[in-house]
Amino acid sequence: MKQLKRELSVIMIICLLTLMYGMPAAQAAVSSSTTYIVLYVNKADAFVGSEKVTLDAPATILKDKMFVPAKFLGDTMGMKVEWNETSRDITMATPGFNIVLNADKKSVWINGLMTPFDDVAAIVNGRLMVKLTWLADYMGARYTYNDELKRVDIIYTKAPTSIYNTATNQSKPVAKFSFAKESYRMGEPVKYVDLSYDPDAEGIAKYEWTGNQEAFFQAGTYPVSLTVTDGHGNKSETYTRNIVIEDKEFLSAVEYPIYMKPPGTFIKTDWSMLWGHFWDLPELPKSATADATRPVLVSDSPEEFTEKGILYQDKINGKARLYADHVNGTKDKLTLAIMATNKTNKPVTIKTTNKGEVWPSVYANLIGNEATVDFLMNDPLKESLTVPVNQTFIFKQFPDFYPGQGINLFYDVETDGELQMSFVATDAITATTLQTLPLLPFTGHVRGTFPVSQVNWNIDATSFTKPSRLVIGDNKSDPFQPGFDPQRNQKVTNDGNYGVVYKIHSDQPRKMAIMILAKGGVFKGPFKINGEIRLVPESGVLTPFDNMQILAKTTGKEKSLDIEFSPPAGSAFPIDLIFYPLEDKE
């Protein structure tokens, strides 16, 4: 009994392998052909047609009856054999008959009728054998036995399977495909050529693939299967082919998405991948300069205000950038406004040349991203406001600002004289607003006026050969800009460089991929690559360490590469821009 159970387990494995690796012609044949088998009693040599094979269980005579190896004939005649581990049954599907063998119960069921196991099967040297006359009858095979030669000749013609359903007057579709090449290297993109068709000419409505990977990263032979469905719900037989992957590498699993995926693609990472390939990369050399022609006024503390008041206040004269990021922490609906006060002896005109605005929202990453997108778009803007002597005008007023909502804003302005700019949160704007509102205290976020509103990095991305990076927002490779807070009368730093625009330039960049890796926390923000806005990410947020995003790719033929960026409010720093050299692959 133990020997028989081992034999059944072997049969189960063999059957599964037969099902997995069956040749496509046998699965999708329109016609059938004759199989000619020659066996010799008690000899391992056998023939299938003109091909000589060696059996591990030769034919034998038991009680004057010829018994033949079940595995060999099942494979050769295309008999479907399945093992049920729960019931410990072997099921054989032959034309018109469903045969179930159960050695534990010593029974064989044929279309529901029982036959004693020992009448039709036996275990010989640990192999399952079945009576030739019995199996041939149910398979529809013809056989002869030559006693002098001790030879059995079996002729089997498998009946062709019809795909036409007379009840519906429709045919099942036919699944079929090929590969563009006989074999592929590890990491080489696989091209699947769909050859499926519908005899009714209704077209294929649905494709169901299994195993059709874009690329394989280990050498071997892998089954790929396809089932198709037509518009009436008729499903094809499953068609399977084996793909051969050579023991030669085209791309590694790490390289593949970097080479083959378009900008915007997420690349899943883990600590092993990061430490092995992307952690602490050498920094791409850069020449850094600062543009101090346009100071930036940053109003970000109190970031979440809990009372009405003046959030920040300072003077400008000439070019300036106004930047604010605040959350309504009160229980009331308020308005946020920027007010311009002229304390000189002549009218002063303020012109707005660029803006970054967003509607109030409770989602911090969203408002920071959208305001930065708006600003980097740099749409032509010509707005002007003239403030009379000793007057205060509203420069900008924003929509109703409900509890819990935040807002982020940028304005590039130019004045022909000195103006005091005040960022205020209140319920109503009047002529005496600034006289009645208190200066709100500093609560730990960024606040102050900073001379530098733009940094320029010139990099040499022409001929580097190893993955390299630029670090943004670490206060080491990228120092935070110093400034002054007049309300506290002290020096401050712009932690995160919010409101600062980075302009990264390279002449004649080589062929490469540029990726972003968030390291400090959640990130969501845009980049402008050679004039085109790229969102990071296109939806949701980029989380640290578990994924990267392909930001851009160059072909090696561009005259220059220009990246424009400003740290979005609500995002954490530092981030790495990874420059990954791409080689031409054949």
pLDDT computed for residue 68 by the predictor: 84
Cis (ω within 30 of 0) for the bond into 451?
Answer: no
Question: Residue 556: which of 515, 513, 509, 514 has the closest Cα?
Answer: 509
**How much is the average pLDDT of 446-454?**
97
The pLDDT of residue 120 is 82
Indicate the SS3 state at residue 291.
strand
Asked whether the predicted pLDDT for residue 22 surpasses 50, the reply is: no
Residue 7, pLDDT above cutoff 60? no
How do beta strands 575-581 and 511-518 pair? antiparallel
What is the torsion angle, in degrees rounded to the nearest 10, for the CA atoms of residue 255, residue 257, residue 259 and residue 262? -160
pLDDT in tens, 411-438: 999 999 999 999 999 998 887 889 899 9
Secondary structure of 73-139 in HEC code, one letter for each residue: HHHHHCCEEEEECCCCEEEEEECCEEEEEECCCCEEEECCEEEEHHHHEEEECCEEEEEHHHHHHHH
Residue 189 pLDDT: 97
Structural element, H or E, at residue 183: strand 183-186
Give 249-305 pLDDT, tens digit per residue.
Answer: 999 999 999 999 999 999 999 889 999 999 989 999 999 999 999 999 999 999 999
Report helix, strand or coil for 238.
Answer: coil
End-to-end CA distance of the chain: 58
CATH superfamily entry for domain 34-157:
Copper amine oxidase-like, N-terminal domain (3.30.457.10)
Q: Which residues contact 529 (CB under 8 A, 6 or more apart)?
A: 514, 551, 552, 561, 562, 563
CA distance 52 to 43: 13
Cβ atoms within 10 Å, residue 298: 32
- Residue written as tokens 């036919």? 174
- Cα–Cα dist 372/176, whole Å: 50
Out of 1.25.40, 2.40.160, 2.60.120, 1.10.3470, the CATH code matching 301-445 is 2.60.120
User: Is residue 4 predicted with pLDDT exceeding 80?
Assistant: no
DSSP type of residue 391? -
pLDDT at 19: 34
- The pLDDT score that the predictor gives to residue 403 is 96
* Reported pTM: 0.74
Contact predicate 120/138, CB 8 Å: no
Question: What is the sign of the dihedral through the CA atoms of 533, 537, 542 and 547?
Answer: negative
**What is the rounded CA–CA span in Å between residue 563 and residue 106?**
77
Q: For residue 36, with 0-12 CB atoms within 10 Å meaning exposed, 13-18 middle and 19 or more buried, which class applies?
A: middle
Q: Which of these ranges, 114-118, 227-231, 385-389, 572-576, has the smallest mean pLDDT?
A: 114-118
Q: Which residues of the chain does CATH 3.30.457.10 include?
A: 34-157
**Better pLDDT: 518 or 169:** 518
- What pLDDT, on the 0 to 100 scale, is given for residue 30? 56
What pLDDT score was predicted for residue 8?
40
Distance CA(524)–CA(541), nearest Å, equals 5
Lowest mean pLDDT among 125-134, 197-206, 257-266: 125-134
Q: Which of 96, 80, 83 minimizes the C-alpha distance to 237? A: 80
Q: Above 80 in pLDDT, residue 502?
A: yes
Closest CA to 310 of 476, 213, 148, 435: 435
Average pLDDT of the residues in 351-355: 96
Rounded mean pLDDT of 463-490?
96
- Contact between 187 and 255 under an 8 Å Cβ cutoff? The reply is yes
pLDDT tens, residue by residue, 136-154: 777 777 888 888 888 888 8
∠ CA 188-193-197, nearest 5°, is: 160
Tell me which residue of 100, 96, 130 sits closest to 113, measured CA to CA: 100
- Mean pLDDT score of the chain: 88
Per-residue pLDDT band at 1 (split at 50, 70, 90): very low
Give the three-class secondary structure for 12: helix
User: DSSP code of 168?
Assistant: T
> In one letter, which amino acid is 272?
S
Q: Does the structure show a pLDDT above 70 at 550?
A: yes
What is the rounded distance in angstroms from the CA atom of residue 51 to the CA atom of residue 31? 22
More confident residue, 95 or 170: 170
- Measured between alpha carbons, how far is 251 from 302 in angstroms, rounded to an integer? 51
pLDDT digits (tens, 9 = 90+) for 154-177: 888 776 666 767 667 788 899 999
In the numeric block, the tokens 């089954």 are attached to 223
Cα–chain-centroid distance for residue 428?
A: 49
Going by pLDDT thresholds of 50, 70 and 90, the confidence category of residue 25 is very low
CATH 2.60.120 maps onto the chain at 301-445
- Check: CB of residue 327 under 8 Å from CB of residue 300: no
Backbone conformation region of residue 188, classed left if phi is above 0, alpha if psi is from -120 to 50, else beta: beta
Reference 139, options 119, 104, 110; nearest CA is: 110
Q: Which residues of 92-122 are buried (b: 16+ CB within 10 A; e: fewer)?
A: bebeeeebbbbbeeeebbbeeeeeebeebbb
- Cβ-based burial of 546 (10 A; exposed 0-12, middle 13-18, buried ≥19): middle
Residue 255 three-state SS: helix
pLDDT higher at 255 or 60? 255
Structure confidence at residue 498 (pLDDT): 97
- How many Å apart are CA 425 and CA 423, to the nearest integer? 7
Q: How many angstroms from the chain centroid is the CA of residue 470?
A: 24
Q: For residues 390 and 110, which has the higher predicted lDDT (pLDDT)?
A: 390
Q: What is the mean pLDDT of residues 86-106?
A: 77
With a cut of 50, say whether residue 23 has pLDDT above it.
Answer: no
Assign 15 a pLDDT band (cuts: 50, 70, 90): very low
pLDDT at site 81: 67
Identify the residue with better confidence: 319 or 134: 319
Say if residues 565 and 472 touch (Cβ distance below 8 Å): yes
DSSP class of residue 524?
Answer: -
pLDDT digits (tens, 9 = 90+) for 207-249: 999 999 999 999 999 999 999 999 889 999 999 999 999 999 9
> Which helix (H) or strand (E) covers residue 376, if one does?
helix 364-377
Residue 246 or 107, more confident: 246
Structure-block tokens of residue 494: 């712009």
Q: Which CATH architecture group holds 164-250?
A: Sandwich (2.60)
- Name residue 93's amino acid: A
CA torsion sign for 502, 519, 544, 493 is negative
